[in-house]
Amino acid sequence: MLDIKMPRVNGIEALLEIKKRHPETVVVMMTAYASDDNVRNAMNLGAYGFIRKPFDVDELRTYVDKVLSGNC
């Protein structure tokens, strides 16, 4: 789980670094500032999914279950 807006580093920058160092790592982005461009950009850069805040707990649980079961 990685937020788009974080102190000191942008979530997209963090996503790029994570995918560069560990391309197999599954990253689900989340933000209260979702735009179609943000979502598309994150997905194009390797994010597995995108959750908009305030998020639905069931939606979050679905992502976590998929990742833990290896169905992503």
Token duo for residue 68: 């833990």
In this predicted model, what pLDDT tens digit does every residue of 10-68 receive, in sequence order? 999 999 999 999 999 999 999 888 788 888 899 999 999 989 889 889 989 998 999 88
Residue type, 41: N
The CATH number for 15's domain is 3.40.50.2300
CA atoms within 13 A on the CB side of 2: 24
Count of the separate structural domains present in the chain? 1
Instruction: Show the domain range for 41.
Output: 2-69
- Quick check: pTM over 0.75? yes
Determine how many CB atoms are found less than 10 A away from the CB of residue 3.
15
